[in-house]
Amino acid sequence: MNTIYPIKLLEDKIILLDQTRLPQEEIWLEMIDYRQMIEAIKMLRIRGAPLLGLAAIAAAYLAAIQFLREKEFMKLMDNAVDEIESSRPTAVNLFKATTKIRQILHESIDSKVIKDKLRTLYEFLYEYEESACEKIGMNGITLFAPDKKLNIMTICNTGSLATIGIGTALGVIRKLTVDHDVHVYASETRPLLQGARLTMWELQKSGIPSTLITDNMAGWVMKTNSIDAVLTGADRITANGDTANKIGTLNLAILAKYFKIPFYVVAPVTTIDSSLESGSEIAIEEREHNEISSLGNKQIAPMGIHVFNPAFDITPASLITAIITDSRVFIPPYHFDNVGIDPCVYPNIN
């Protein structure tokens, strides 16, 4: 298994893999300013719900280093956290991280203590997410009969690049390859092609047989290629099981229902947001119009047209066969009580 670790915390800086440059170039960026981290989050240089929690803490840690000797340290840090929260609105992991960051800020007035606690929080979450991916993988493989050839469809990127460790949906796939003959059909994931650029890159590095398809081929591939399951990630899961994920996920869920194919959502329990009753309460990020009207730097649509570019859609719980987490596999009707680690807060950092 080829595991990539796309973010690294050093003493006074962050090193991260620029995912916008993949697969053509593997460029590592050095971050010493918290606003650099915020820009990286906004521009998807770092992405994936589990990884965004870490990115938020990393940004706050850099801010604490920058403001360490400032008289208005607390005010500057509060403003920095506001900026971090404004970077992306949909993935709940980012906001759970900032909730804990604010708690740390309000527990002490010593700037060095706060900086050290933020580093400890980062290290805790890093270890948690890596372990969670392993547990997710082991829980996921229990849904599949042993020694079977499997054709699996997925969307966007749910591997090492989106997490710390082997990944969520892609982590289950990696675990399945130990005892199964697995072939993955990865949708390109318009408009930013995370499936084509990132998932296919990871699958190739891991030696997992795979085929790239365009998003609008999914129904025909399900009909003609005996797809055994669809595995997707999640950016936020509400109390009733409704799930926000990359735009196009809802299409796959509807098609899977029609073709009677199991549709599995795969995510750590930190992605569950029990404060929201249903998907109708999730804020959906809308991104720049040129992501659709252009391909790379090339304009592909007429200038001046109207464009709608939501980054996510909501899959209703009624279309989800099961939700695979590091705690256990949940089946309908969805209730997320006693999931192990409290998904709303991280533990006290002493």
What amino acid positions are annotated as catalytic residues? 235
161-185 burial, b for 16+ CB within 10 Å, e for fewer?
A: bbbbbbbbbbbbbbbbbeebebbbb
Which residues does 331 contact at the CB level (< 8 Å), separation at least 6?
A: 321, 322
Phi-psi sector, 318: left (phi>0), alpha (psi -120 to 50), beta = alpha
**Half-sphere exposure (Cβ direction) of 336: Cα atoms closer than 13 Å:** 27
Decide: 213 and 190 in contact? Cβ < 8 Å.
Answer: no
Report in angstroms the alpha-carbon separations of 157 from 31, 48, 217.
23, 8, 18
How far is Cα 157 from Cα 60, in angstroms, rounded to an integer?
A: 26
How far is Cα 235 from Cα 315, in angstroms, rounded to an integer?
A: 11
Alpha helices in the chain (DSSP H): 34-42, 49-66, 73-85, 92-107, 111-141, 169-176, 194, 200-206, 218-224, 249-258, 290-293
Task: Return the beta strands (E) in 144-216 as ranges.
Answer: 149-154, 181-187, 210-213
How far is Cα 317 from Cα 323, in angstroms, rounded to an integer?
A: 9
How far is Cα 345 from Cα 267, in angstroms, rounded to an integer?
A: 17
* Structure-token pair, residue 69: 């000797």
Q: Which strand (E) or helix (H) includes residue 198? A: none
